[in-house]
């Protein structure tokens, strides 16, 4: 049994070095290293190249190094017999929380507007909002969503969230179903998307959803394909939204000629809200590899019907 790393947008060499140091076994990089593909049973993946997964006929487990698995299926066909697992990491959660908190504070304290004012030398004090009067709503209350929600609630924000099934989260009001979503959106100051990307959630950030908001602020740290880009601009024009921070996009890197770059109502970051730390998750990867070898269940296995 052996491991292969399939990355297309991340340097695999540091991951190979950390794994080999801990495992005392050789780890191969696709397609750089010479290796016999039939000997590979465990794949570690991040946005694998199109058609690369199918080349490994004896794979038992595919390990995503992110919280999501949608990137595995980009022009790759995966057998239903293969186990897929994902990362749940406390440091990744803390990074996501710190990013979201920074964006929220910049918004409610008008830092984004003052940045624009500086460009045109305008001195114009604006009334700010306090944490205790700010309602933050989450789309998605999985590991990351629930974790960030609880931390914001502990900071003093009013926090609520919407999920596909009932959740019981410390002092966080939760909603399910279409009626629940409508009720949550009507009282939202800041909307944070942390949903997994599935057939049901693709394009969920659309005009119908935005129309239920009233001068809210959007933070999208889920996936670019959650957002209908044209509908975001319409929501600005109709004042359902007064601004947004986007960390994820349909096309990454965001093309230089994309209209988002020149829209002052938008803040843009290059998919940096939560980056997996190899040193933090290496123990998790090795445990899953050893469990596979011994015929034991792996941790954080994905429900393929749900897509997360």
Q: What pTM value is reported for the model?
A: 0.97
CA distances from 273 to 62, 86, 97, 192, 227 (A): 24, 17, 9, 12, 17
- What is the 3-class SS of 158-171, one letter each residue? EEEEECCCCCCECC
Q: What angle do CA 206, 208, 212 make, to 5 degrees?
A: 110
Interatomic CA distance for residues 3 and 42, integer angstroms? 5
Cβ contacts of 26-31, under 8 Å, gap ≥ 24: 26/2, 27/2, 27/3, 28/2, 28/3, 28/4, 29/4, 29/5, 30/4, 30/5, 30/6, 30/55
Give the domain ranges of the chain: 2-89+276-293, 90-268
Quick: pLDDT tens for 272-302. 999 999 999 999 999 999 999 999 999 999 9
Per-residue confidence band for 1, with pLDDT thresholds at 50, 70 and 90: confident
- Confidence at residue 43, expressed as pLDDT on a 0 to 100 scale: 98
pLDDT of residue 305: 86
CATH for 2-89+276-293 is 3.40.50.720
Give the list of residues 6+ apart from residue 293 with CB closer than 8 angstroms, or none.
Answer: 1
pLDDT at 47: 96
Residues 6+ apart with CB under 8 A from 150: 159, 169, 170, 171, 172
pLDDT in tens, 169-217: 989 999 999 999 999 999 999 999 999 999 999 999 999 999 999 999 9
Residue 27's pLDDT is 97
The reply to whether 2-89+276-293 and 90-268 are identical in fold is yes
The pLDDT of residue 293: 97
Quote the CATH superfamily of domain 90-268: NAD(P)-binding Rossmann-like Domain (3.40.50.720)
Helix 111-119 and helix 90-108, axial crossing angle in degrees, nearest 10: 60
- How confident is the prediction for the chain on average, in pLDDT? 97
Rg (CA), the chain: 21
Average pLDDT over residues 34-58: 96
Separation of alpha carbons 90 and 272, rounded Å: 16
Burial class (CB in 10 A: 0-12, 13-18, 19+), 90: exposed
User: Average pLDDT of 20-45?
Assistant: 96
| CA torsion, ordered 224, 229, 231, 237, to nearest 10 deg | 120
């Amino acid at each position: 049994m052996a491991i292969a790393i399939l990355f297309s947008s991340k340097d695999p060499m540091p991951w190979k070095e950390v794994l080999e140091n801990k495992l005392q076994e050789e780890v191969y990089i696709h397609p750089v290293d010479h290796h016999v593909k039939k000997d590979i049973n465990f794949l570690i993946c991040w946005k694998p190249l199109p058609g690369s997964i199918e080349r490994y006929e004896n794979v038992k487990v595919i390990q995503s190094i992110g919280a999501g698995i949608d990137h595995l299926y980009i022009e790759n066909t995966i057998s239903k017999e293969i186990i897929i697992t994902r990362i749940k990491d406390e440091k990744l959660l803390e990074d996501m929380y710190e990013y979201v908190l920074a964006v929220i504070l910049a918004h409610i304290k008008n830092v984004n507007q003052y940045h624009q004012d500086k460009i045109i030398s305008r001195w114009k004090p604006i009334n700010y909002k306090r944490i205790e009067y700010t309602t933050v709503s989450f789309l998605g209350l999985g590991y990351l969503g629930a974790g960030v929600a609880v931390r914001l609630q502990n900071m003093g924000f009013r926090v609520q969230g919407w999920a596909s099934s009932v959740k019981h989260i410390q002092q966080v009001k939760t909603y399910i179903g279409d009626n629940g979503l409508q009720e949550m959106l009507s009282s939202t100051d800041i909307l944070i998307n942390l949903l997994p990307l599935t057939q049901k959630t693709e394009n969920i950030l659309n005009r119908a959803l935005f129309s239920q908001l009233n001068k809210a602020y959007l933070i999208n740290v889920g996936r670019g394909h959650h957002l209908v880009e044209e509908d975001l601009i319409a929501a600005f024009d109709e004042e359902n939204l007064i601004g947004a921070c986007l960390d994820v996009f349909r096309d990454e890197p965001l093309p230089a000629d994309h209209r988002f770059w020149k829209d002052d109502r938008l803040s843009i970051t290059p998919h940096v809200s939560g980056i997996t730390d190899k040193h933090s998750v290496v123990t998790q990867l090795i445990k899953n590899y050893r469990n596979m070898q011994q015929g034991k269940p792996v941790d954080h296995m994905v429900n393929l019907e749900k897509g997360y």
